[in-house]
Structure 1
Amino acid sequence: MTRESHRRVVRTERMHTYETYWTIKHPNLNDDCKSSHSYRAHYRVKKSTFEWLVNRLSRCAAYLGSVLRGGYSVEVQVVCVLWRFANTHFGHRIAETHLGVTAGLFNNFTNRFIDAMLEITPEIITWPIEDRERAFNNARAIDGKLVVIQKPAINGNPYVDRKSHASMNFMAIRGDLTRLMYVKTGHSGRNHDARVFTSSVIYHKILFDAARWCPANTYILGDLGYPLLPNLIVPFNGRRESTAEENIFNATFSSSRIKIKNACGVLTSRWSFLWKPLYMLSVDRMAKTIVSCCGLHNVCVNQNDIEEAILDGSFDCEGFVEVDRRNRFENEVNFEPPLPFHGTDATIDAAGMRRIKAMSILKRNNIRRGTDRHT
């Protein structure tokens, strides 16, 4: 629900008095992508995508309770959150002025939307097994990105990266049409991309069960920051004595892998909430917000709601993608949605994740004790 302001001048004897009144503008929005009064201009999605999102989220448990209690409709709640994610940062005061909702309702709408998106994430972010991704033009690609966040008040120094920004590492594996097949976030910006990858569930899946997760000799393309595995290809190290064959391979490899950077660029350009510093107090909420935006990205791809610059290949991700490769420290929050296998299998190696978490806690405690001794 978007509202437009109009000013009416009331003449008095001494001065002009301005009275502001608001008109509901949402029912008059059209589906013309080039118009300023369209769904795309206000919410970054088409009308069909918006309707699908409202119908699907209305069946989630988070919204069922809200509707039964006689609260705001699902449509209004989704509109407020999409408006917030589509703009760089939509403050509580501006939300109360434009949308007519208080700060408490604005936060409740956001939390409810995030919970509902995480509920349907296994249906949206899936790992396909079709035998169709063999050539470099359609190969899967992996990359990391730093999302600048608000520095946590407690233990916030481990989140400061080499650029002196508090950030959270976000890893994604892209399929075809910029569709995200797997996402992982929660690690601090000081973590190396390889560390984030080796601590993920997909690393153990493709290493010990490659026949199922990478069938028909399919491969994942990564940069030099990732380890070389049977199903993970990295380019040749750029050195002066490189052969002509290696240079040709690297050129073809780079032109194919750039699509994952385009996917990250589309994600942050459509949902500008991730472009600027993510102002949230809870680190867990930050990680869930990133995954929710990834789910929205896949919803748009599934509904054929793709930016025109992506369709004609003129999109430039310069300035959106920012990767860090020199970080070492562990992170306290490690958010990773279940790995759906065609949307049905969501098995996770719980014992392995517990061991990784225990080792992270031990290492972090050793670092703190060592720091205390020196000080």
Structure 2
Amino acid sequence: MDRQLSELLMEPGGEFENFTRMSLADFEYLLNIVSPMISKKDTSMRQAITPKIRLAITLRYLATGDSFKSLHYLFKISSEIISRIVPEVCAALNKALKDEIKMPSTTDEWIEIEKGFRDKFPHAIGAIDEKHVVIKCPDHTGSEYYNYKRTFSIVLLAVVDSKYRFIFCDIGSQGRISDGGILRNSVLWKNICENKMNFPPPCPLPGLNVDLPYVFLGDGAFALSENLMKPYPGDHKLNTPKRIFNETLSRSRVLSENTFGILTSRFRFFKKPIELMPEKVTQLTMTCVLLHNFLMKSSSSKNIYNPSGTLDKCDNGVFIEGAWRQEVPQNCGIRCVPHIARRSPISATKIRDNFTEYFVNLRNK
């Protein structure tokens, strides 16, 4: 298999990039940092599978979502061994790449995030989203994972910046928990409530004489709060203040949908309900997120399976789906969280109204 992989490296026309969803340079970089953690010793009975093959198997699995049996035919390694290799390599990648996701910890770092949103939604410091990672119920599980559809989900809670990179990621809450409860049970929400985030202090926007806080942008699945803006519920007429606010927010937070679009286009592991135990799905999902951030910063891999120019956008209040959605099957293993109506705190409602006043004034200039 080493010889076959070497031949693949020599193929013209991007064959290696198609195989692993990354450039050869990035593959070799990852191989260098994880080799000490995934190397095995030869025995008197057989030679150990090399780190290069172990990494290639894992990346191929994440890139295609092929079954272990299919990978057995490709790599000539038993399905049982592949089923052990993939989690071991993912654990090594998670350890090596753990710093690829980093929440800002200072006011200056939050301001840098805000600069990417400033032209569309000033004081925004990230787009927040929740996705259900759907799992096919493993055999012989109890009622905790069973329902009549034979599937359940874990939830991926994430905050992304304007460069389609994750700055926070929490994976593993069961999808049956209320969606508002997922955020409120997270470390992120705990730190917000305890004022540990070091957000920039509230300040006025041009033309307003009231201080407005820095906020995350969410959709209807979230509860409105002083640091999280969501759309006004209902269908509002064109050019009314609430419609103007909703359009502005949608144009800004489409970043999170596109980030998940790039993730699922690059890692077809998510193309259908995943037939693994939830602990492994959590681990492998984190690997995909870390690799996504690593590859988005890479000059040689950034545009490999990154559907640049074919992303979602919002034009005059009309949502236009990007072409990436056609690359991802309808029964994709990552699904949206439903919108749920909730009563909002008066203070948060007032903040949203103040943002609305700013956007209305801006449009009327």
TM-score, with normalisation over the residues of structure 1? 0.70
Contact kept in structure 1, 2:236 and 2:243, CA below 8 Å: no
Q: What is the distance in 2 between the residues matched to 1:262 and 1:192? A: 24
Q: What is the distance in 2 between the residues matched to 1:242 and 1:210? A: 40
Q: What is the distance in 2 between the residues matched to 1:99 and 1:50? A: 18
How far 1:68 sits from its partner (Å)? 8.2
- In the TM superposition, what are the counterparts of 1:147-158 in structure 2 within 5 Å? 147-152=133-138, 153-156=140-143, 158=145
Q: SS of the counterpart of 1:181?
A: strand
Please tell me whether residue 24 in structure 1 is matched to residue 9 in structure 2.
no
Q: What is the distance in 2 between the residues matched to 1:310 and 1:326? A: 27
Sequence identity, in percent?
A: 21
Contact kept in structure 2, 1:118 and 1:292, CA below 8 Å: yes
CA distance 1:313–1:240, shift in 2 (3 Å): closer
Q: SS of the counterpart of 1:117?
A: helix
CA distance 1:121–1:191, shift in 2 (3 Å): farther
Q: What is the distance in 2 between the residues matched to 1:225 and 1:160? A: 23
Contact kept in structure 2, 1:125 and 1:295, CA below 8 Å: yes
1:272 corresponds to? 268
How far 1:270 sits from its partner (Å)? 1.0
Please tell me whether residue 205 in structure 1 is matched to residue 191 in structure 2.
yes
How many residues are matched? 297
253-262 vs 214-223, which deviates more? 214-223
Q: SS of the counterpart of 1:285?
A: helix
Q: SS of the counterpart of 1:29?
A: helix
Q: SS of the counterpart of 2:102?
A: coil
- In the TM superposition, what are the counterparts of 1:1-375 in structure 2 within 5 Å? 24-29=4-9, 35=13, 37-59=14-36, 62-63=37-38, 66=40, 71-92=48-69, 94-128=70-104, 129=106, 130=109, 131-134=111-114, 135=118, 136=120, 139-152=125-138, 153-156=140-143, 158=145, 160=147, 165-209=151-195, 211-212=197-198, 214-215=199-200, 218-240=214-236, 244-280=240-276, 282-304=277-299, 305-307=301-303, 310-314=307-311, 315-318=322-325, 319=330, 322-325=335-338
The C-alpha deviation readout for 1:16-40, integer Å capped at 9, x for no partner, is xxxxxxx7153443597xx3x5222
Which aligned segments of 4 or more residues in structure 1 are displaced greater than 4 angstroms? Answer: 67-70, 156-161, 239-243
The C-alpha deviation readout for 1:297-344, integer Å capped at 9, x for no partner, is 1111121323365433544453456213379xxxxxxxxxxxxxxxxx
How far 1:159 sits from its partner (Å)? 5.8
Q: What is the distance in 1 between the residues matched to 2:197 and 2:11? A: 44
How far 1:164 sits from its partner (Å)? 7.1
Q: What is the distance in 2 between the residues matched to 1:156 and 1:177? A: 41
Q: What is the distance in 2 between the residues matched to 1:84 and 1:230? A: 42
Q: SS of the counterpart of 1:58?
A: helix
Q: SS of the counterpart of 2:136?
A: coil
Q: What is the distance in 2 between the residues matched to 1:140 and 1:254? A: 13
The C-alpha deviation readout for 1:342-371, integer Å capped at 9, x for no partner, is xxxxxxxxxxxxxxxxxxxxxxxxxxxxxx
Gaps of at least 5 residues in structure 1 are 3-22, 328-375
How far 1:228 sits from its partner (Å)? 2.1
CA distance 1:238–1:176, shift in 2 (3 Å): same
Q: What is the distance in 2 between the residues matched to 1:260 and 1:191? A: 22
CA distance 1:115–1:71, shift in 2 (3 Å): same
Q: SS of the counterpart of 2:49?
A: coil
Paired residue type of 1:174? V
Q: SS of the counterpart of 2:103?
A: coil
177-186 vs 236-245, which deviates more? 236-245
How far 1:215 sits from its partner (Å)? 3.3
Gaps of at least 5 residues in structure 2 are 202-212, 312-321, 341-365
Paired residue type of 2:59? L
Q: What is the distance in 2 between the residues matched to 1:225 and 1:198? A: 13
CA distance 1:95–1:211, shift in 2 (3 Å): closer
Q: What is the distance in 2 between the residues matched to 1:87 and 1:110? A: 13
How far 1:67 sits from its partner (Å)? 5.2
TM-score, with normalisation over the residues of structure 2? 0.72
Paired residue type of 1:46? S
Q: What is the distance in 2 between the residues matched to 1:176 and 1:122? A: 21
How far 1:243 sits from its partner (Å)? 7.2
Q: SS of the counterpart of 2:171?
A: strand
